[in-house]
C-alpha cells in the first residue's frame, strides 16, 4: 500500500497567476481566439456566462453534499469505486491514495439509473438531477470544443465536439469531497507557515480524456503546474467553470495544446466539494489530429490509437505517470 506523504510542501514554489477568464457572451470570433490563446499558454481557463443554469448546478451540489453527509456504512453501499461508485482515499487501481472521498459515475443514462439505487433514497430524482447536469455541461463542453476548432482554423469545426456528443461516449462525472485536514504542527515548516498547511487531497496528474469542466464551492485547493516544480493556485470561483485540456485533446491538437498536470490540496478548516465532467469519446474512437494541425513544421507526434487502448494504459499505470509518452512516435 502506498502511504500518502506527510507533504512538507515547503520546498515547492507556489506562484500566483490568475487564469484567463473568458466571457462566453462576448463576440464569437474574439472568444475563440481567447480560448486558443489560453489553451496555448496554460491548458487551463475559466469560463463565465457559460449558460449552464444555476438551478441545475445547485441541485447537483445539494445531492452531492447530502450523499457525503451520510453515515459511512450507507455511503459504502455505493462502492467500491472500480472505477465507478463511491470511493474513500483509494484512487485508481494501483495503490494511489488521497485525502478525499468521491463518487464517480459513468454518464450512460442506464448506468446512472442503476447506480442511483445505491446512492439515493430517491433514485429517480437523483438520476434526473445528474442527467440534467451532464446534458448541460456536455453542451458547454461541445461549445468550447467547437470554439477551439474555429480558433485553430480547423475546417471541420465539430471534429472535437462530436466525440463527446456521441451516444456511446465514455464521459465520466466525478464528485470529490475533501474534508478539512488538520496538519500537525510538527509537519510544518514554521518559517513559511502559510505555504504548507495543506495536505495533498488528489495527487499530481493529467486528465486522460478530451476536456474537463470543473466547478467547486468557494474553497480553494486546485493547483496547476505549468513549469516543473512550480504550482499555481487556481482561485475558486463558483460562478465559473474551470476548463482544462485532457490528454486526448493534446493528441488531437498534435501537441499544440498541453494537458497540464494539476492536483488538489485539502483545506485545514473548510471542506471542499468539486464536480468534474470528463468529456471522453467512445471506446473505439481512433484519436488522430485533423490535417490542418499536422504540417511540415509540426510533424505528427503520436501514433494513431483508440481511446480504449489509452484508457487501458491509464488504468494500468499510477496516477502521476505520463501516459501520453507511450503513444509518441519514436
What are the backbone dihedrals phi and psi of residue 175, each rounded to the nearest 5 degrees, phi first? -110, 125
Interaction with ligand GA4 in 77-116: which residues (CB under 6 A)? 83, 91-92, 96, 104
Among 64, 208, 221, 279, binds ligand GA4 (CB under 6 A): 208
- Residue 312 neighbours by CB under 8 Å, 6+ apart: none
Among 278, 302, 307, 310, binds ligand GA4 (CB under 6 A): 278
- Please report the beta strands in 135-289, taking only residues with DSSP state E, as ranges in sequence order: 172-178, 200-205, 211-216, 222-227, 230-233, 241-245, 261-265, 272-279, 286-287
Query: Is 272 one of the annotated active-site residues of the chain?
Result: yes
Q: How far apart are the C-alpha atoms of 37 and 259, rounded to whole Å?
A: 14
Among 116, 161, 254, 314, binds ligand GA4 (CB under 6 A): 314
**Nearest distance, CB of residue 145 and ligand GA4, angstroms:** 18
**Nearest distance, CB of residue 194 and ligand GA4, angstroms:** 28
179, burial (CB in 10 Å: exposed 0-12, middle 13-18, buried 19+) = middle
Question: Of the listed 272, 303, 323, 328, which one is catalytic?
Answer: 272
CB 314 within 8 A of CB 208: yes
Size of the site for ligand GA4 (CB under 6 A): 15
- Interface with ligand GA4, residue 207, by CB under 6 A: yes
For residues 43 and 208, which CB has a smaller minimum distance to ligand GA4 in the complex?
208
> Which range of residues in 3-11, 40-48, 299-307, 311-319 is near ligand GA4 by CB under 6 A?
311-319
Classify 46 as helix, strand or coil. Answer: strand
Which residues make up the interface to ligand GA4 (CB under 6 A)?
83, 91-92, 96, 104, 172, 174, 205, 207-208, 278, 314-315, 318-319
Amino acid at each position: 500500500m502506498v502511504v500518502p506523504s506527510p507533504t512538507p510542501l515547503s520546498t515547492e514554489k507556489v506562484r500566483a497567476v490568475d487564469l484567463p477568464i473568458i466571457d462566453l457572451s462576448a463576440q464569437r470570433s474574439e472568444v475563440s481566439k481567447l480560448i486558443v490563446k489560453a489553451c496555448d499558454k496554460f491548458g487551463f481557463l475559466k469560463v463565465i456566462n457559460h449558460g449552464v443554469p444555476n438551478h441545475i448546478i445547485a441541485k447537483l451540489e445539494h445531492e452531492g453534499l447530502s450523499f457525503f453527509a451520510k453515515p459511512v456504512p450507507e455511503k459504502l453501499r455505493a462502492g467500491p469505486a472500480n472505477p465507478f461508485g463511491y470511493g474513500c482515499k483509494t484512487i485508481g487501481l494501483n495503490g494511489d491514495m488521497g485525502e478525499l472521498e468521491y463518487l464517480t459515475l459513468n454518464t450512460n443514462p442506464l448506468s446512472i439509473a442503476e447506480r442511483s439505487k445505491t446512492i439515493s433514497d430517491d433514485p429517480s430524482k437523483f438520476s434526473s438531477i445528474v442527467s440534467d447536469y451532464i446534458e448541460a455541461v456536455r453542451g458547454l463542453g461541445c461549445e468550447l470544443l467547437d470554439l477551439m476548432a474555429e480558433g485553430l482554423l480547423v475546417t471541420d469545426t465539430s471534429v472535437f465536439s462530436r466525440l463527446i456528443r456521441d451516444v456511446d461516449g465514455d464521459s465520466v462525472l466525478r464528485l470529490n469531497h475533501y474534508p478539512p485536514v488538520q496538519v500537525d504542527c510538527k509537519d510544518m515548516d514554521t518559517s513559511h507557515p502559510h505555504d504548507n498547511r495543506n495536505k495533498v487531497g488528489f495527487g499530481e496528474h493529467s486528465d486522460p480524456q478530451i476536456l474537463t469542466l470543473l466547478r467547486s464551492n468557494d474553497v480553494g485547493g486546485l493547483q496547476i503546474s505549468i513549469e516543473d516544480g512550480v504550482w499555481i493556485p487556481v482561485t475558486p470561483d463558483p460562478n465559473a467553470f474551470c476548463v482544462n485540456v485532457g490528454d486526448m485533446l493534446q493528441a488531437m491538437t498534435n501537441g499544440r495544446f498541453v494537458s497540464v498536470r494539476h492536483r488538489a490540496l485539502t483545506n485545514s478548516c473548510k471542506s471542499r466539494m468539486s464536480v468534474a465532467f470528463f468529456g471522453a469519446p467512445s471506446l473505439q474512437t481512433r484519436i488522430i489530429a485533423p490535417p490542418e494541425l499536422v504540417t511540415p513544421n509540426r510533424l505528427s507526434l503520436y501514433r494513431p490509437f483508440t481511446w480504449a487502448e489509452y484508457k487501458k494504459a491509464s488504468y494500468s499505470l499510477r496516477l502521476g505517470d505520463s501516459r501520453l509518452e507511450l503513444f509518441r512516435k519514436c
